[in-house]
Structure 1
Amino acid sequence: MLESDGVDDVTLLVNSSPGKMMDINFSYSNGFPSMGNAVLCAKASMLLQNVLPAILLRFLREHRSEWADSGIDAYSAAAVKAGPCSLPVPQGGSFGGQVILPLAHTIEHEEFMEVVKLENVGHYQDMIMPSDIFLLQLCTGVDENAVSTCAELIFAPIDGSFSEDSPIIPSGFRIIPLDSGMDASSPNRTLDLASTLEVGAAGNRATGDKSSRGSTKSVMTIAFQFVYEMQLQENVAIMARQYVRSIIASVQRVALALSPSFFGSHAGLGSPPGTPEAQTLARWICQSYRCYMGDELLKHEGSESILKLLWHHTDAVLCCSLKALPVFTFANQAGLDMLETTLVSLQDISLEKIFDENGRKTLFAEFPQVMQQGFMCLQGGICLSSMGRPVSYERAVAWKVVNDEENAHCICFTFINWSFV
């Protein structure tokens, strides 16, 4: 075990002779050593509340870009191959895509194995050009209606050049429930933003008083292993601590987004200010647009909820706070695509960052109109994604979103007919 850096949230363990411990010959199919001199494991645990382990684990499985760093993935894949490799530079947000290829599963589908293909993972300094990375992945306990002692998502980089007896170096997540309360109110939930955030409303309707069920608590253990050359131990230890801490922060934000609100049904507790249910926010957005613009933002057809219609709306819809430096607090799928960001990273982007100098001047000159008359219209122009890529739009509309008490809650923007330049 390595000494702590003063913060005891991440534990580091080192195995300097992995081959001897496992009595395995670490060899590449071409005869060269396939691993570095040692393996470092960074481990941490965290308490989760009001989010089902199966729901959270499925989200982490299906939305790897929300928490993983492609630079670390590239390093891990390169480190288990022949030859030394240098340490990665964190490159969050550079995922090219994820494809899940099923391999096998148990009869009841409570456990399954798959290969995850990470496409065009680049920006790693030892790579001449972007390439694909393959992970062997094992999932258990992802059915929220089944009683399970734990839920696991375990993965390891693999390569076609591995020999048959080559070991794999796994990392991943394990969630152990601390209570037996199960929420079977929604057996067919999917994991896009609309459906997951509707859980709060759907669950309330189906189960009535949540106080009779109690809250869901569980402990998540996060463990990541890194192969490295012995002379790089100190640098790898620093990298591992930082990476696991960033994953903890990402998981906390994702868990908060996935958890239904428990405040409204408990005596003496009201909903925290500024954090309405997603369905309520969607209703406020559409009602305010209708009030100020005299038109409907969404074409409501069939029985689909307002939130789901807003989430799948083709124009980018983004909400920002009413602070002195507004930051984004909500975006539909088109908005996330336009900003080239994720739900986890959205709140790190300020409104002024997406406009160039001329755009900022226009925005700040016209912005008082929103608070005075409730809306403003912007001519077509250019804005920037979080990656700095220019985005053209035909026109944009901003309006004040008010709550049921007619108090200003946020400012909403829609960018119409946007496209990357």
Structure 2
Amino acid sequence: MAMAVALHRESSSSSINKHLDNGKYVRYTAEQVEALERVYAECPKPSSMRRQQLIRECPILSNIEPKQIKVWFQNRRCREKQRKEASRLQTVNRKLTAMNRLLMEENDRLQKQVSQLVYENGYMRQQLQNASAATTDGSCESVVTTPQHPLRDANNPAGLLSIAEETLTEFLSKATGTAVDWVQMPGMKPGPDSVGIVAISHSGVAARACGLVSLEPTKIAEILKDRPSWFRDCRSLEVLTILPAGNGGTIELLYMQMYAPTTLAPARDFWTLRYTTSLEDGSLVVCERSLSDSGAGPNASAASQFVRAEMLPSGYLIRPCDGGGSIIHIVDHLDLEAWSVPEVLRPLYESSKVVAQKLTIAALRHIRQIAQESSGEVAYGLGRQPAVLRTFSQRLSRGFNDAINGFDDDGWSLMNCDGAEDVVVAVNSTKNMSTVANPAIALPLPGGILCVKASMLLRNVPPALLARFLREHRSEWADFNVDAYSAVSLKAGSYAFQGMRSTRFSGSQVIMPLGQTVEHEEMLEVIRLEGHPLSQEEAVLSRDIHLLQICSGVDENAVGACSELVFAPIDEMFPDDAPLLPSGFRIIPLDSKTCDTQDAIIAHRTLDLASSLEVGPAMNRASGDASPSICNGRSVLTIAFQFPFENHLQDNVATMARHYVRSVITSVQRVAMAIAPSGLSTHMGPKLSPGSPEALTLSQWISQSYSYHLGTELLRSDCQSGDSVLKQLWHHPDAILCCSLKSLPVFTFANQAGLDMLETTLVALQDITLDKIFDESGRKALCSDFSKMMQQGFAYLPPGLCISTMGRHISYEQAIAWKVFAEENTVHCLAFSFVNWSFV
């Protein structure tokens, strides 16, 4: 009996243990883990059938329940997510630590600067009290003066070393000391997600940037010393002499040529000494300064088209960080000889903001871009490697700069003018011409290239807004047949001008993004222009045109940045070695003072739309200044278009090219007049269009209708005035959009969050229909609730996904739709609010 009881207990215990084993953690052998890891690498989330198949295919897993296999994959995904999150937090912590270190150093520098200013103030007071003393020179600028060094030092290694050491001292005093009175760059807000701490000088043309980069110092120095790879205005950089220096350093003599940004001024060149060395604390320094004698350089005859500029002690201080990465200090201090350009352009050559954007910030952004590409954080379209796409951008920019400058040593020469001086026509009859240095992919031409270019002054036209309009509304200024001529010529390798076939341009352009820089200041994209032949004989032929395009400077917050739209016809196969013939636009702000805020409502009339509402974000978000203002600065627009030709048809192509570019200029001038802010009150813009409410009234209608339908307030109840309602609506965290009540609803207004969500602008918003932003399930939900919304005035849409204009998916927790009532309870439009939206 006792034995039976014991057997029963043992059997029960075994059954219980077996039951518990099914639900508790299983210890896997090394072979089992290896097999599971192989499957996880292929498919991190296998289906039930795949897990059962795994058990059948791997005998070593046969003793494990399918449920345990599922738990293992869940735990593995969880561990991977935790690892990535831990890595991300460590990276953020390193960034915050480094930024804190930079801020502490900046605070120390400012304290020293305060002490120095107090001392100088006391000294000046003492001088003013000595009225009987002779008036002394009042120049007390803190910019370090750079003594000129005789050319004989260039032939003397000891003299060169002395200049190098002096350059190092002066550069370090600017990078970390008080040699320059640095002030924060307008519009640049420091923080862990910013490009860095950027400052400019009011005395002299100088800029400084400090930032954290996840690369080693030697790699950063190697990248930055290759200036043509990241500085778009650098035409060439020749290292003529390399001498060893102490501490393993080197001294180099360099000759650099810079492009001119417009057709109105000559290009610049530099004759400099560059010193690379290491400091006692392990920091790496690359500093540079100009040598004297304006005639020095490798080729005096080639330099005849250049004005010799001066580089005062500048360079890079790169310090290694604990845990990897580096802190970099960049200083650029130039004298661009502004006296040699027309007076209207001198602000461009005397602006520290322009130097900061073109040179200093560009250097910091480039190494951050390389760092993120190396870590795999950057994703690009069409399966292209980042380096290949970056090369395309550089080739487009370089080819456009070559066209604008038209250097003699590139084979350019001016054609006889037809009496009108509004455009300049240059011709290049070089047999092998390409925008790259590799002759293997040069473009063989039986004739040559003809370039028509012009520059003009614009007033009261924001460069970023004009660039966006030219990009998004190509049909307003471009001729499809001219694009087709260039595209077909490049594809066929024949440059005969046999008359352009008539093709009807559908007006539709499809923008296919390839990639963008880390801070989205430049976009690379392929544009497909859809065309249709007018004759049935050609109906079988594809008339679509493909353009490779870069667009930059569309951020109105970037003070001192120029805006560009450069494009070139390209084969639809888009080969890596495709020849490029770039044309485009460059808009450069000239005034040193820009609008600090643009919270006012500005109506920008367009040519193909009745009107559109533009509410610009504050230029300096850190300031918190919400006072509205209208920017009334000047800018210079440079246009350059290139056309291939055969020798015997050069005159025909030249006539066509002149006519076309003049028509483009006329169209752009009309666009500029249409989008320029009007001279009305700075507190309220003109009406949106006939029959449309003013911006302030529309915002009140949206808020009041929301309260009427839903019984709650959309905005804070303490805002009474119209402009206060408008500002709250504009800065509301939820994406708020309005669309028309038509058979095909089109968006008419969006707040800042709405524009960010759709990745568009108010100018382009009216090209977007309501159905295009929802996926299939979202459209079904909208259709099912539409009748309910029209009956009761509002509807709640369930969580779902929508799509931006760039093709990115957006999730939202809830969407609310309501009717917006106008005067006399007439329905003016429909409003949508997307709550807690984010990119997937």
1:240 aligns with 2:657: yes
SS in 1 for 2:432: helix
Which residue in 2 is equivalent to 1:40?
450
Which residue in 2 is equivalent to 1:83?
494
Decide whether aligned partners of structure 1 residues 85 and 126 sit closer, same or farther in structure 2, where only a CA change above 3 A counts.
farther
- Out of 688, 691, 702, the position equivalent to 1:302 is 702
Which residue in 1 is equivalent to 2:673?
256
1:198 aligns with 2:613: yes
SS in 2 for 1:131: coil
Greater Rg by CA = 2
Decide whether aligned partners of structure 1 residues 238 and 130 sit closer, same or farther in structure 2, where only a CA change above 3 A counts.
same
> Would you say the 8 A contact 1:71–1:123 is kept in 2?
no
- TM-score, scaled relative to structure 1: 0.57
- Unpaired runs of 5+ residues, structure 1, are 267-275, 286-297, 317-332, 337-421
Separation (CA, whole Å) in 2 of partners of 1:43 and 1:231: 22
Q: Deviations over 1:15-61 (max 9, x none)?
A: 01151687665879xxxx76442100010112111121001101110
Q: Which has the higher contact order (CA 8 A, sep 6+)?
A: 1
SS in 2 for 1:279: coil
* 1:5-154 paired onto structure 2 within 5 Å: 5-19=418-432, 25=439, 35-81=445-491, 82-89=493-500, 94-120=505-531, 122=533, 129-154=541-566
- Out of 647, 653, 656, the position equivalent to 1:230 is 647
> Would you say the 8 A contact 1:71–1:88 is kept in 2?
no
> Would you say the 8 A contact 2:522–2:553 is kept in 1?
yes
* 1:293-332 paired onto structure 2 within 5 Å: 302=702, 312=740, 314=742
> Would you say the 8 A contact 1:24–1:165 is kept in 2?
no
User: Root-mean-square deviation (CA), in Å?
Assistant: 4.7
- Out of 563, 567, 588, the position equivalent to 1:155 is 567
Separation (CA, whole Å) in 1 of partners of 2:743 and 2:605: 17
Q: Following TM superposition, by how much is the alpha carbon of 1:2 offset from its aligned partner in structure 2, in angstroms?
A: 1.0
> Would you say the 8 A contact 1:144–1:187 is kept in 2?
no
- TM-score, scaled relative to structure 2: 0.30
Q: How many residues align?
A: 290
* 1:336-351 paired onto structure 2 within 5 Å: none
Q: Following TM superposition, by how much is the alpha carbon of 1:146 offset from its aligned partner in structure 2, in angstroms?
A: 1.6
Q: Deviations over 1:333-352 (max 9, x none)?
A: 9x99xxxxxxxxxxxxxxxx
- Unpaired runs of 5+ residues, structure 2, are 1-413, 619-624, 706-725, 727-736, 745-763, 768-840
* Matched letter for residue 37 of structure 1: G
Separation (CA, whole Å) in 1 of partners of 2:536 and 2:647: 20
* Matched letter for residue 139 of structure 1: C
Separation (CA, whole Å) in 1 of partners of 2:743 and 2:498: 40
> Would you say the 8 A contact 1:16–1:38 is kept in 2?
yes
> Would you say the 8 A contact 2:546–2:572 is kept in 1?
no
* Matched letter for residue 63 of structure 1: H
Decide whether aligned partners of structure 1 residues 220 and 84 sit closer, same or farther in structure 2, where only a CA change above 3 A counts.
closer
Larger helix share, 1 or 2: 2
1:169 aligns with 2:581: yes
- Out of 163, 168, 181, the position equivalent to 2:594 is 181
SS in 2 for 1:251: helix
* Matched letter for residue 566 of structure 2: I
Q: Following TM superposition, by how much is the alpha carbon of 1:284 offset from its aligned partner in structure 2, in angstroms?
A: 8.9
> Would you say the 8 A contact 2:462–2:631 is kept in 1?
no
Comparing 51-60 with 82-91, greater Cα deviation is found at 82-91
Decide whether aligned partners of structure 1 residues 20 and 228 sit closer, same or farther in structure 2, where only a CA change above 3 A counts.
closer
Separation (CA, whole Å) in 1 of partners of 2:634 and 2:423: 21
> Would you say the 8 A contact 1:88–1:125 is kept in 2?
no
Decide whether aligned partners of structure 1 residues 130 and 62 sit closer, same or farther in structure 2, where only a CA change above 3 A counts.
same
